[in-house]
């Protein structure tokens, strides 16, 4: 009998790949969404309403719940603190309590922004003390605390900047394509050449989450780490990401200018370098390999190359 998994945020950039990874591995997958729900594969569930969560869990009876749904934009978080806290802190706590009472393993997706990224401090180990640089990071750190206190079957998985198949607006990496394609524009664009990023593909993250779920359902979770971290080792600034994408597209980018002080487009404080150590995953035998950035984009954008 196939194991069952619920994936929240199943219509998002990461959620779609997580659904695919579990489905291809033979799991019975139920996704949840809200505005982009598509029953019966992706059910419309308001995760801020306790009664909808309990009905979902009682109807599906999953072995694992992977919580991908969250407010991920630091700028949007700063502009809507109440809504962000509800989605990023209160909802995870509710999920932790409801999954714990049913013996369901909860995998909570967190972020490298729980660390302040002080120059010289990276790479951060999973057990390192957190110190979020902004409100978004604070809510994700508080969400971590909530799920770990609310369930003894919860595990936190931190990930960095993500890219993958989807609409450009869904990823801070993908959206840079729009800036490159807009070469006909007369205005110059300042691009951050200060903060270090580690762009990581959603296909890799989804594979790791599936492997974590299989590990934690086949082993006593009390003997396994409560916090795991996954990241590529691909070190670059946003400006360098633009350079690499422009090479893939064979398009010039004279309109994009490097700014090596702080991100000139940011209204919220960003960390310098939050590189996550993957030792916690390696220690339990999880494969931490990642796709090649350029090779993946060449495959993804082949039809658009000029």
Closest alpha carbon to 143 in 106, 199, 107, 89: 89
Q: 74-83, 204-213, 249-258: which has the highest mean pLDDT? A: 204-213
Q: How confident is the model at residue 265 (pLDDT cuts 50, 70, 90)?
A: low
Local structure of residue 88 (DSSP, 8 states): I
Query: In the predicted model, what is the mean pLDDT of the chain?
Result: 93
Q: Per-residue confidence at 187, pLDDT binned at 50, 70, 90?
A: confident
3-state secondary structure of 295: helix
Residue 306 pLDDT class (50, 70, 90 cuts):
very low
Q: How far is CA 260 from CA 31, 237, 242, 264, in A?
A: 41, 9, 14, 9
Tell me which residue of 297, 213, 190 sits closest to 2, measured CA to CA.
Answer: 213
Residue-range definition of the domain harbouring residue 34: 4-166+200-231+274-290
Q: Are 71 and 112 in contact (CB under 8 A)?
A: no
Strands (E) in the chain, as ranges, are: 4-8, 28-33, 42-44, 64-67, 105-111, 154-159, 162-163, 189-192, 200-201, 227-229, 256-259
- 156 domain-assigned: yes
Q: Give the count of domains, the chain.
A: 1
Q: What percent of the chain has pLDDT over 90?
A: 82
* Residue 98 counted as domain residue: yes
**Per-residue pLDDT reduced to its tens digit, 132-159:** 999 999 999 999 999 999 999 999 999 9
Q: Is residue 301 part of a domain?
A: no
Higher pLDDT, 267 or 164: 164
Any domain includes 265: no
Give Cα 201 distance to the centre of its chain.
Answer: 10
Summarised one tens digit per residue, pLDDT across range 4-31 is 999 999 999 999 999 999 999 999 999 9
**CATH number of the domain that residue 128 is part of:** 3.40.50.720
63 SS3 class: coil
Q: Point out the residues that are catalytic.
A: 136
Nearest-5° Cα angle at 151, 139 to 157: 55
């Amino acid at each position: 009998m196939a194991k069952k998994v619920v994936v929240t945020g199943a219509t998002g950039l990461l959620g779609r790949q997580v659904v695919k990874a579990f489905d291809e591995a033979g799991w019975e997958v139920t996704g949840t969404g809200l505005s982009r729900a598509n029953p019966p594969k992706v059910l419309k569930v308001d995760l801020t309403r306790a009664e909808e969560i309990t009905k979902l869990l009682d109807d599906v009876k999953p072995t694992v719940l992977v919580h991908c749904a969250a407010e991920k934009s630091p700028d949007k978080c700063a502009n809507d603190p109440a809504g962000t806290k509800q989605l990023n802190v209160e909802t995870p706590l509710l999920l932790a309590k409801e999954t714990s009472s049913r013996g369901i393993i909860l995998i909570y997706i967190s972020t490298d922004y729980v660390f302040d990224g002080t120059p010289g401090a990276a790479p951060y180990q999973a057990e390192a003390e957190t110190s979020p640089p902004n409100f978004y990071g604070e809510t994700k750190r508080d969400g971590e605390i909530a799920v770990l206190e609310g369930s003894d079957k919860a595990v936190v998985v931190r990930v960095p900047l993500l890219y993958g198949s989807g609409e450009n607006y869904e990823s801070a990496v993908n959206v840079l394509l729009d800036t490159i394609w807009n070469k006909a524009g007369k205005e110059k664009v300042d691009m951050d050449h200060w903060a270090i990023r580690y762009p990581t593909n959603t296909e890799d993250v989804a594979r790791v989450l599936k492997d974590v779920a299989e590990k934690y359902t086949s082993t006593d979770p009390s003997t396994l780490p409560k916090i795991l971290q996954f990241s590529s080792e691909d070190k670059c600034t946003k400006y360098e990401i633009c350079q690499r994408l422009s090479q893939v597209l064979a398009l010039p980018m004279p309109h994009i200018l490097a700014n090596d002080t702080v991100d000139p487009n940011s209204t919220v404080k960003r960390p310098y370098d939050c590189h996550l150590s993957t030792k916690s995953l390696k220690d339990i035998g999880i494969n931490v390999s990642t796709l090649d950035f350029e090779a993946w984009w060449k495959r993804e954008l082949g039809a658009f190359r000029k």
